Amino acid sequence: MKVLANDGISKSGIKALEAGGFEVITTTVAQEQLINYINQNQVTVLLVRSATTVRKDLIDACPSLKIIGRGGVGMDNIDVDYAKAKGLHVINTPAASSQSVAELVFAHLFSGVRFLHDANRSMPLDGDSKFGALKKAYAKGVELRGKTLGIVGFGRIGQEVAKIGLGVGMKVVATDNFIDSATISVDIFDGQSIKVEIKAIDFDELLAQSDFITVHVPAQKDYLIGKAELAKMKNGVAIINAARGGVIDEVALIDALEAGTVAFAGLDTFENEPKPAVKVLMNPSVSLTPHIGAATNEAQDRIGTELASQIISILK
């Protein structure tokens, strides 16, 4: 049986699948050529990340498919319900990348509070001639310790973010439509840990309380955070989005950044991927990454082996 990992898979995942008797194809096939390729090669399992979409037309046109797998959490690029109704198995790896995404959130937070994202642009250009001026410009950083971190979406990733926030010494508040509370275990060292219960609060209450807000929700039909929500936040708040593009109204966000009501933003996902808006890319108060939340070696190893395990369990 053949597995097409169209958006790639880790070496550990390939080894596990080959050991299970599968042939693994890592050729990246263009979206418009995917149906023909699957049919010509009688592919049984299609694995994707975020680049490839699996819609009704592909599902209908590819009778050899038995499994569609998503390396990661979000499944919005797959017509999941339709695939299941047609008898296909749809799998993903919801826990594999949680820690990687959470660490990226704090990479953006630490970058923002100490202006690293802007300093790393300015120092190569003016560090030798305007060192004193740059030192003065970046001399008003703040500490994360003691500040309030608001987590919107308190699932696996949100809870991993909470662990780091608590470890840093932040007050953590969270809101979620489905989770009322969660007990967060913060590992310290030598097998020791502390447990903290966090009860979910109202969304508007979180907006009003938080010094920093990070969003961890699935793709939305409408903006979760727009002009009205930004108006409810503290003056000088910072916002991180490592979830999905379209969760935050980028036009409203840029307006708030230019007005100074939002101090900075960290964006890993964008409304118009893979061509983010130029005003977002050029704003000096935005820390930018190109949708790499799950892109660590450790996460990709976990994703690959978890997908392999599920595939072998289903088909073998």
Nearest to 206 by CA among 259, 252, 150: 150
Which 3 state secondary structure label does DSSP give 58? Answer: helix
Q: What is the predicted pLDDT for the residue at 15?
A: 97
Between the alpha carbon of residue 167 and those of residues 184, 238, 296, the distances in Å are 11, 19, 21
Q: Given 244, 250, 271, 302, which residue is catalytic?
A: 244
Q: What is the predicted pLDDT for the residue at 37?
A: 98
Nearest to 66 by CA among 22, 26, 33, 31: 22
Q: Given 271, 291, 302, 306, which residue is catalytic?
A: 291
Give yes or no for residue 83 having a pLDDT over 90: yes
CATH of the domain at 251: 3.40.50.720
Q: What is the predicted pLDDT for the residue at 285?
A: 97
Give yes or no for residue 74 having a pLDDT over 90: no
Percentage, residues of the chain above pLDDT 90: 94
Tell whether 200 and 216 lie within a shared domain.
yes
Tell whether 140 and 10 lie within a shared domain.
no
Tell whether 145 and 258 lie within a shared domain.
yes
Token pair in block for residue 288: 């930018």
Total tally of structural domains belonging to the chain: 2
Residue-number span of the structural domain to which 36 is assigned = 2-96+297-315
Give yes or no for residue 34 having a pLDDT over 90: yes
Tell whether 158 and 200 lie within a shared domain.
yes
Tell whether 112 and 27 lie within a shared domain.
no
Tell whether 193 and 211 lie within a shared domain.
yes
Tell whether 143 and 12 lie within a shared domain.
no
Q: What is the dihedral of CA 90, 95, 100, 105, to 10 degrees?
A: 100
Beta bridge partners of 194: 186
H or E element, residue 161: helix 156-168
d(CA 251, CA 114): 25
Mean pLDDT of all residues in 203-217: 98
Residue 145 bears catalytic tag: no
Q: What is the predicted pLDDT for the residue at 199?
A: 98
Single-letter amino acid, residue 281 = L
pLDDT tens digits, 102-139: 999 999 999 999 999 999 999 999 999 999 999 999 99
pLDDT tens digits, 182-205: 999 999 888 899 999 999 999 999
Give me the chain's average pLDDT, please: 96
Tell whether 236 and 148 lie within a shared domain.
yes
Residue 291 bears catalytic tag: yes
| Residue 89 pLDDT class (50, 70, 90 cuts) | very high
Q: Given 89, 103, 205, 273, which residue is catalytic?
A: 273
Q: What is the predicted pLDDT for the residue at 50?
A: 85
Burial of 194 (0-12, 13-18, 19+ CB in 10 A): exposed
pLDDT tens digits, 144-173: 999 999 999 999 999 999 999 999 999 999
d(CA 90, CA 37): 20
Tell whether 141 and 268 lie within a shared domain.
yes
Tell whether 220 and 142 lie within a shared domain.
yes
Q: What is the predicted pLDDT for the residue at 98?
A: 95
The answer to whether the predicted template modeling score (pTM) of the entire model surpasses 0.75 is yes
Nearest to 197 by CA among 186, 212, 208: 186
Give yes or no for residue 29 having a pLDDT over 90: yes
Give yes or no for residue 272 having a pLDDT over 90: yes
Nearest to 48 by CA among 7, 104, 15, 17: 7
Tell whether 61 and 189 lie within a shared domain.
no
Mean pLDDT of all residues in 20-45: 97
Mean pLDDT of all residues in 203-230: 96
